[in-house]
Amino acid sequence: MSDFFQNGTVTTFHNLTDRPVEALEAELLKFSQQRPLGLILPSLFSELEGPALANIVEELKNVPYLNQIVIGLDRADEKQFAYAKEYFSGLPQNFKIVWNDGPRMQAITQKLRENDLAPTERGKGSNVWNCYGYVLASKQAEVVALHDCDVLTYDRSLLARLIYPVAHPTFNFIFSKGYYARYSDGKLNGRASRLLVTPLLRALRGVLGSDQLLTYLDSFRYPLAGEFAMDVDFLKEIRIPSDWGLEIGVMSEVLSNYSNRRVCQVDIAKVYDHKHQEVSFENKQAGLSRMSRDIAKSLFRKLAVRGHVFSAGILRTIRAQYYRTALDQLESYAFDAEMNGLKVDLHAEEQVIELFAENIMLAGREFMDNPGEMPFMPNWNRVVSACPTILQEIKNAVELDNQ
């Protein structure tokens, strides 16, 4: 059972009573009569071959309030796309698959590329961005949730709790972010959030001083959670990164466009387990090593926009303060884990902290060497302004592919 404490600058919805999912769904069904509700599932084809997505699909079959499900499918050839259509065919809701590798969507991507509007990098960010385009084009949902397809501990209450604050007609939230406990197999997980993001945010605030963005981001209990829900109108305005900075980028965009009084976080699961990223000590372009650099660069970019100046000396100070903060917090996590009968390998986690400290410096140098880098995908308002028929073209492409 969760506590009721409100911390930081965003509202926290706790799971105080383990309210039955059927009660939440009954309310959501009523809400959906006024504002249709949708779900985005960004997926690699390989996830169709694993156990997590199969369970997610079975759970979604019992969700009564969704007007639309949009599945973004990456890395699938024609035969695999045909398999995907059959795979999802049991869903009773209206669903469409955005086949990102198909000739129709590739033709649209090429048109956008010719206008310097296409994503520069393939990945979850570009997949989600294409799904946003179809959601806007189809006009079948006014509130949309998004969650990953590799959640091993998924049940449909996760979605109900996630979408409820934005769907509720008398709440004023434009965006909700999920949070949860991360442990499995007797071990404490969530290294990227525990060992990188939280200590880095606090180090940045210690070096750069008080900043609304840092306070806001540090208010989230699990900042790298891939589950969020939002008002569809926001999809037109949001600029998201194409790299591993997606979650930080999305939260920062929300703050840039709305008061943090319209933002909340929701306890959506007692325990959450999904595919774990390898640390990748040897390859800086993979795993948590790549993720840490992308996240750090995303933060440096956002802070530079807010008027903060970075230099080699400031980066060294940030690295030193991050390292000390991360080590201090590691001790707290280790004590907490032991009291709960979980294990933390202190030596392995200190090695990860050392890697992250090195990557914070690398990310800072890369940012300063290329301050004009534009890693964000354009928002859909800009795309439509440049290509007025693009949303209709996306709608036609997706619906023809799904025939």
Extract the tokens encoding 73: 């499918």
**pLDDT at residue 45, as a whole number:** 97
Q: Measure the CA–CA gap between 386 and 384, rounded to whole angstroms.
A: 5
Tens digits of per-residue pLDDT, 3-44? Answer: 788 988 999 999 999 999 999 999 999 999 999 999 999 999
Local confidence band at 242 (pLDDT 50, 70, 90 cut-offs):
low
Q: Measure the CA–CA gap between 322 and 356, rounded to whole angstroms.
A: 9
Check pLDDT > 60 for residue 1: no
Lowest pLDDT segment from 57-61, 167-171, 244-248, 340-344: 244-248
Quick check: 319 and 357 in contact, CB under 8 A? yes
Q: 71: Cβ–Cβ under 8 A, 6 or more apart, which residues?
A: 40, 41, 43, 84, 88, 95, 96, 97, 98
Number of Cβ within 10 Å of residue 331's Cβ equals 11
**pLDDT at residue 48, as a whole number:** 97
Distances (CA, A) of 61 to 54, 87, 99, 120, 218: 11, 13, 22, 35, 36
**pLDDT at residue 243, as a whole number:** 62
Q: Measure the CA–CA gap between 376 and 281, rounded to whole angstroms.
A: 27
Burial label for 342, CB within 10 Å (0-12, 13-18, 19+), is middle
Tens digits of per-residue pLDDT, 358-399? Answer: 999 999 999 999 876 666 789 999 999 999 999 999 999 999
pTM for the complete prediction?
Answer: 0.93
Rounded to 5 degrees, what are φ and ψ at 243? -105, -160
DSSP 93-129: S-EEEEETTSHHHHHHHHHHHHTT-S-SS-SHHHHHH
Local confidence band at 271 (pLDDT 50, 70, 90 cut-offs):
confident
Please compute the mean of the pLDDT values over residues 314-326 and round it to a whole number.
Answer: 97
